[in-house]
Structure 1
Amino acid sequence: LTFTLGDCDLLDVKVKCLNNLAASQLKLDHYEAALKSCNLVLEHQPGNIKALFRKGKVLAQQGEFREAISILKAALKLEPSNKTIHAELSKLVKKHMDQRNVETEMYRKMLGNPSAAGAPGKCKDKLRWSIPWKWLFGATAIALGGVALSVVIAARN
C-alpha cells in the first residue's frame, strides 16, 4: 500500500503544521517564533485567517497595537462574521486608546501642565500651548545664531 501526496496536498499539510506551531508558540509566549511561523503561512496563503489572527495577537502582545489592529482588520475583511476576530479587535482598540491616553497624560505632566489632567487627549486652550513653543524654538534659534556669530568673531580675533 503506497500513499502519495501531491504538491497542493503537501502545501496544505505544511500550512496546517505551521499554523498549529504558531498557536503553540503563542501559548508559550514565544512571540518571535510565533510571528515567524505566521509569516511563513502568510507567504503561502496571504489570506489565511488563522495566521492573520495569530499574527495580530502576537503583535498586540509585543505592544505593536497599530500594526496588530491593521492585521486584524484585514482578517475581518476576509471573514466579517468571525466573532473571535471582532472581540479581539475591539479589545485591542480599547487597549490602544488606553495606552495613548496614558502617554498623553505623561507628556502633559512632563511639559508642566498637570492642571489639564482631567481631560486626557484634549487640549482645551490650544493657543496657550502653541504660542510658547513657537517662542521657545524661535528664541533658541536666535540664541544659537548669536552664539555661533560670537564664536566666529572670537576666532577671527
Structure 2
Amino acid sequence: MEASATGCGLDGQGATAAESSLPGLRRSSIKPDCALLEEAAQLKTEGNAFYKEKNIRSAIGRYHRALLILRSLDSEVMTSVRGFGPEKPALTPELEALLRSIQVDCYNNLAVCLLQRQKVDYARVLEYSLRVLHWQPGNIKALYRAGVATLEMGDAQAAKQYLTQACREQPHDANVRKHLQRAEERLNRELQKEKAMYRGMFASIQKDSSAEEGINQTN
C-alpha cells in the first residue's frame, strides 16, 4: 500500500499476513473453504498485475471473479438465503477476517479502476466505497472515493461529510484537502444562490404589498 491514502494505488498488492500465515491456504485439498479463499486471493493478485499494466478491463474482471467466489463463503450473504439449500459450517474467525480483507481490497481496487476510465460511473464508485465502509467505517481510501463520487454526483453536503472524516484521519493528504475545499466552495455557492433566491422572493412580496397599499389609498 502506498504512502498516500488516496492515490491511485491498489490495496493488498502483496499477500497479507493472514494470507501468508494461515496453514489451510497451502493445503486447499484438505479444506475447501481455504481453497476458495486461496483462489480469490490469487485472482486479486492477478487483478493487481493487470492494473499495473494499465489493463483496466482485465483487472476489473479478476476482481469481480474474486468477489463472486467470496459470496459463497460470506456469512452476511448466506444468512439471507438460509433454508434454500444445505447450510455450510461457519468460517473460523481467522478465515472470516481473511475473507473480509480480500473483499475490502477488491472493492477498493474496483473503485480506483473505475476512476481511471474516461467516462467514470460515479454511482458505482460510491456503491463499492460504501461496501468497504460497511466493514471498515474508517477506511480512508473508501471515505475519499465516496466523497469524490458524491461530489461529482452533485451532493456536496454528503461529500463534505465523507471528506471531512477522511481529512481527520489523514490531515496532510493533498487529494483529500483539495476535494474537501471543492465541496465547501460548492456548498458556499449553493448557499449564496439560496440567499439570492430568498432575497428575490421577499423583494417581490414587498413590491406586491406596496402596490396593493397604493391601490387601496387611491380607492
Name the TM-score, length of structure 2 as normaliser: 0.46
Unaligned stretches of 5+ in structure 2? 1-25, 29-33, 38-94, 210-219
Q: CA deviation at 1:88?
A: 1.3
Matched with 2:101 is: 12
Note if 1:111 corresponds to 2:197.
Answer: no
Residue 7 of structure 1 aligns to a residue whose secondary structure is helix
Residue 154 of structure 2 aligns to a residue whose secondary structure is coil
Which amino acid in the other structure matches residue 33 of structure 1?
R
Give the stretch that moved more between structures: 61-70 or 94-103: 94-103
State the 4+ residue runs in structure 1 displaced beyond 6 angstroms. Answer: none
Higher helix share: 1
* Identity across matched positions, percent: 27
Note if 1:60 corresponds to 2:151.
Answer: yes
1:1-157 correspondence to structure 2 within 5 Å: 2=27, 4=34, 6-26=95-115, 27=117, 28-105=119-196, 107-108=197-198, 110-111=200-201, 113=203
Which amino acid in the other structure matches residue 167 of structure 2?
L
Partners of 1:29 and 1:101 in 2: CA distance: 29
Larger RCO (CA under 8 A, 6+ residues apart)? 2
Partners of 2:175 and 2:190 in 1: CA distance: 22
Q: CA deviation at 1:108?
A: 4.7
Which amino acid in the other structure matches residue 54 of structure 1?
R
Unaligned stretches of 5+ in structure 1? 114-128, 137-157
Q: CA deviation at 1:15?
A: 0.6
Q: CA deviation at 1:43?
A: 0.9
- Per-residue CA deviation, residues 111-144 of structure 1 (Å, 9 max, x unaligned), is 274xxxxxxxxxxxxxxx9x95xxx7xxxxxxxx
Paired residues, what number? 119
Q: CA deviation at 1:98?
A: 1.9
Name the TM-score, length of structure 1 as normaliser: 0.62
